[in-house]
Amino acid sequence: MVRTVAVADPGDLLAHLRGPASYAWVRHGEGMVAWGEAARVTVPPGPGRFAWARDWLAQTLGEADIDDQVRVPGSGPVAFGSFTFDPASPGSVLAVPAAVLARRGGRAWLTTIGRVPATLAPAAPQPATAPTGPVRYGDGSLSAPQWQHAVSLAVERIRRGDLKKVVLARDLDAVAERPIDLRALLSRLTRRYPACYTFSCAGLVGATPELLVRRTGEAVESLVLAGTTARAATPAEDAARGTALLSSGKDRHEHACAVDSVRDALAPLCKDLTVPAAPELLKLSNVQHLASPVSGRLSESASVLDVVAAMHPTAAVGGTPTGRAVELIGRLEGMDRGRYSGPVGWIDARGDGEWGIALRCGSIEGSHVRLFAGCGIMADSDPAAELAEAQSKLRVMQDALEGR
């Protein structure tokens, strides 16, 4: 039995999280949080994994008795998911939480499954937890000099004409003195990065600026981000950096590759598609991005997972051409990315949903966190500058872990 009822404004969504099985998808204070698990599956690896996940969800929810008194995208039963970057890698997860609390557009609702009470009782006040303590960091798969060398090798391949762009990721190990307080970590991320999609799914936690796809009926939207510069200390210098980013040939070319990737993926699925002629600036608290919002209408009934399957991996996380770039990633990164840079988000029983790309994130196990960041490498990329950009992106999770 699945029941969705309207509720009064719950206030801070994250304050209602409870238990170790907690899920979240929040932006500008709206979105959803969830707890408990009515159903969960590890999605088998392989090229058909998104279709497998779609079919598993349809079968799982097909037997449900649904009483949805709200009837908007995200009401009724919802599944949270997180997929690995590499289709051959294990670890993709899809879960149907036992309770989902959501707020969007001035409305709030609560969905419960089975014997979970269909009333909203606030979670117990968050106890004054001890700080995680000092956080120790160590190299991941590659040290900083080794990663810079990998960037140099990628630049050589691009200059030879083997490909146009490749996105290289760097991982970093972090160990805190005490287990990570998930609710506190998510609260810090939403407070500092309100324009990002703060997410939690099966141990993967982060704040991504990149919306892979939103499906609402036949309408689809995507936000393409590629091309980055750090924020500055003064408004004048910050504006100058934004202007330089907009006029940078290297960054504009990188962005164009990412936009073309999204256009090529969505065009066969859409009866119309709107792509901006030029990017705009998206300013976050730590970096500025070149951004292009893409929108369209689906020509056939396709769930959001069908659209995700067509779009992943985009040039923003793989490169151009995608096949050659992904092959080079496997040779140079020296690691399995796991669910970093893979799709993460939610889907409801109607096939609506929102999915982002798992960026600015970490994989948490107790007091251990594996952090990730990536950079788009082009023909004129400078290894030292790319390392600095990766470090800037890693600071998102480092600051949250350290309580900043």
Count Cβ atoms below 10 Å from residue 402 Cβ, excluding itself: 16
Q: Does a structural domain hold residue 126?
A: no
Which of 30, 63, 177, 210 is labelled catalytic?
Answer: 210
> How far is C-alpha 8 from the chain's CA centre?
29
CA distance 154 to 28: 37
Count Cβ atoms below 10 Å from residue 233 Cβ, excluding itself: 7
Task: Tell which wins on pLDDT, 331 or 128.
Answer: 331
Please say whether the beta carbons of 93 and 40 come within 8 A: yes
CA distance 206 to 373: 11
According to the model, what pLDDT value does residue 284 have? Answer: 85
Q: What percent of the chain is predicted at pLDDT more than 90?
A: 81
CA distance 115 to 260: 48
Q: Which residue has the tokens 């006029």?
A: 247
Whether 165 sits among the annotated catalytic residues: the reply is yes
Count Cβ atoms below 10 Å from residue 98 Cβ, excluding itself: 19
- Over residues 69-80, the pLDDT tens digits come to 999 999 999 999
Task: Work out how many domains the chain is built from and give that number.
Answer: 1
Q: Does a structural domain hold residue 127?
A: no
Q: Does a structural domain hold residue 124?
A: no
According to the model, what pLDDT value does residue 119 have? Answer: 57
CA distance 81 to 345: 6
Q: Does a structural domain hold residue 396?
A: yes
Which of 30, 156, 165, 300 is labelled catalytic?
Answer: 165
- Over residues 255-274, the pLDDT tens digits come to 998 899 899 999 999 999 99
Whether 393 sits among the annotated catalytic residues: the reply is no
Three-state secondary-structure class, residue 190: helix
Q: Does a structural domain hold residue 123?
A: no
Cα distances (Å, whole numbers) of residue 353 to 81, 96, 350, 383:
11, 14, 9, 38
Query: Residue 131 — very low, low, confident or very high, per pLDDT cuts 50/70/90?
Result: low
Q: Read off the pLDDT of each residue in 139-156 and give the average, rounded to a whole number.
A: 97
According to the model, what pLDDT value does residue 133 have? Answer: 73
Residue 113's domain comprises 2-118+134-401
Please say whether the beta carbons of 367 and 179 come within 8 A: yes
CA distance 369 to 175: 6
Return the CATH number at 229.
3.60.120.10
Query: Residue 118 — very low, low, confident or very high, per pLDDT cuts 50/70/90?
Result: low
Average pLDDT across the chain, whole number:
92
Cα dihedral angle (112, 345, 311, 254), rounded to 10 degrees? 160
Any idea what the Cα angle at residue 129 is, between residues 125 and 134, rounded to 5°?
A: 150
Backbone angles phi, psi at 177, to 5 degrees: -70, -30
